[in-house]
Structures are given as C-alpha cells and as structure tokens.
Amino acid sequence: MDLSRVLEKQKKYEETKGDIPEATMTSLEKSFEVEYTHNSTAIEGNTLSLMETKVVLEDGIAIGGKSLREIYEVVNHKKAYRYAKECIQKGIELGETIVKDIHALLMENILIGGIYRREEVFISGASHTPPAGNELYAQIKNFYYELAQKKDLNGIELAAWTHAEFVRIHPFLDGNGRTSRLLANYQLMDNGFLPVSIAKEDRLAYYQALDRYAAHGELEDFLSMIADLEEKQLDKYLERESGNNRGGKGK
C-alpha cells in the first residue's frame, strides 16, 4: 500500500477539480450515490439489484416482490448520505449527535434509531464478541473521545479507523455496517477525499479485514482496502479532468 501516491492524487484532484464540467460532476456524483446505496445495503442482505435501486431512488417507483423494509433501506440510505454531505458543507465535525442522526435516518420506518443497544449481540463467523452493558457505554464514550484527538491522521487513515472501531463496538442493534460505512465516507469527504463504495462482491475480504482489526487490532488490511478504493475513485475523476483538457486543447 502506497498512501503517499494516493495523497498526491488527492492533491492533484483538489487543484484540478474545477476543470471538470459541472454536468459531468453531477453525473458522477449521482451515479456514485446509486452504486453506493446498492452496495452498502446489499452487503447487509438487501436483494434489490443495482437497476432496481436506481428506479426506487430516481423514479420513486416501488419494486414488486420486494419487502417494504428493503425499499426503506435504500430510500433511507440516500437520505442519510445526503444528510452527511449537508453536515460537511456546514463545517460540522463528526461527533455523537451526527452518528445518532445518521443511524436514525437509516432506520426510519424500520425501528427506532439513534439508541444504543442494551442487549448482548453475537456476530456470526466473527472471532470477536462486541461489548455489552457498561463496557459498551465505556467503549463508545472512548470512541468519541479518540475521534476528537486523531488530528494527526490523514483522511484515509481516519476513515479506516473510524469505520473499524465503530463496527467493532457495534453499538446499535441493527444498521451498524451501513452506519460505519457512512462514517468512513464522512471522514473522507470532510478531509477533501472522495467517498468510496465497497462492492458487495468484496464482502468476504471486507469482513475478514474488519475481523482482524476487532480481534487483533490490526488495521493494515482494512486501511489498504480503503486506500485502494480511494485511489480508484480519484483516478476516475482525474481521467475526466484530463480528457476535458485534451478536448479543450483540440479546439
């Protein structure tokens, strides 16, 4: 993993993103929103296809044969993602209020969100058992404390740690995965990076990397995954910017 290469690309993106036509930027962002919503909900078992997710989000059409919960999951994810972007535009740093708000939006019409669990939970196939009771409250309190202290990390490191640590604690009964992926993207966007989407096809590698962190405190594999995804996103935008410049020179 070469973080310095990704950081250089991010710097170039910041310097040149104004050269990408507004219509192109809007199209890229819209396409990402659908893809991200599809992947993040599909990882948790939602059966809507990418096209079905697009139809629900962009056309407001319900899909026959799908449960109301699955429809709410994709609609809610879009709301929560847009809320996160609005908070970033207002210059609000990630903290407990935003975390609870994001979870509440994700759980709208499904269950009452934004409330930490009181029950014990066990994650199938994982080698780590999330904390419960007083230990859960102590660890989530420490999570927010550490979150405010990690000013020396770059956006990719901060996103990887925030996601991995939050999902290790697993503070909510449901929706921890979707919440943690939104928190990672919050950190990326708040630090000048592009949001990323973990493909549902990469679910196993994703879970394994998170499990290594939860069980052994090893963040390297997950950090590499986030860095690779970020680099691919940056390349996609830099290619558009480069193509636009070539087109301009040819006029």
At 245, is the pLDDT very low, low, confident or very high (cuts 50, 70, 90)? low
The whole-number pLDDT of residue 51 equals 97
Return the higher-pLDDT residue of 182 and 61. Answer: 182
The whole-number pLDDT of residue 250 equals 39
| Catalytic-role residue among 38, 77, 103, 170 | 170
The whole-number pLDDT of residue 241 equals 72
Q: What residue type is 36 in one-letter code?
A: Y
Verdict on whether the full-model pTM lies above 0.85: yes
The whole-number pLDDT of residue 124 equals 81
> What are 191-215's pLDDT values in tens digits?
999 999 999 999 999 999 999 999 9
> What are 30-56's pLDDT values in tens digits?
999 999 999 999 999 999 999 999 999
Closest C-alpha among 193, 200, 222, 198 to residue 13 = 193
| Residue 1 predicted with pLDDT over 80 | no
The whole-number pLDDT of residue 151 equals 84
CATH code of the domain made up of 3-244? 1.10.3290.10
Distance of alpha carbon 85 from alpha carbon 251, whole angstroms: 36
CA dihedral over 43, 48, 52, 56, signed as positive or negative: negative
Return the higher-pLDDT residue of 248 and 17. Answer: 17
The stretch 57-85 carries a mean pLDDT of 95
Examine the residue annotation and report whether 170 is marked as an active-site residue of this protein. Answer: yes
The whole-number pLDDT of residue 234 equals 97
CA dihedral over 170, 171, 172, 175, signed as positive or negative: negative
The most confident of 22-26, 75-79, 150-154, by mean pLDDT: 75-79
> What are 119-164's pLDDT values in tens digits?
988 888 788 899 999 999 999 999 999 999 998 999 999 999 999 9
Distance of alpha carbon 37 from alpha carbon 170, whole angstroms: 21
| Residue 251 predicted with pLDDT over 70 | no
Mean pLDDT taken over the chain: 94
The whole-number pLDDT of residue 62 equals 85
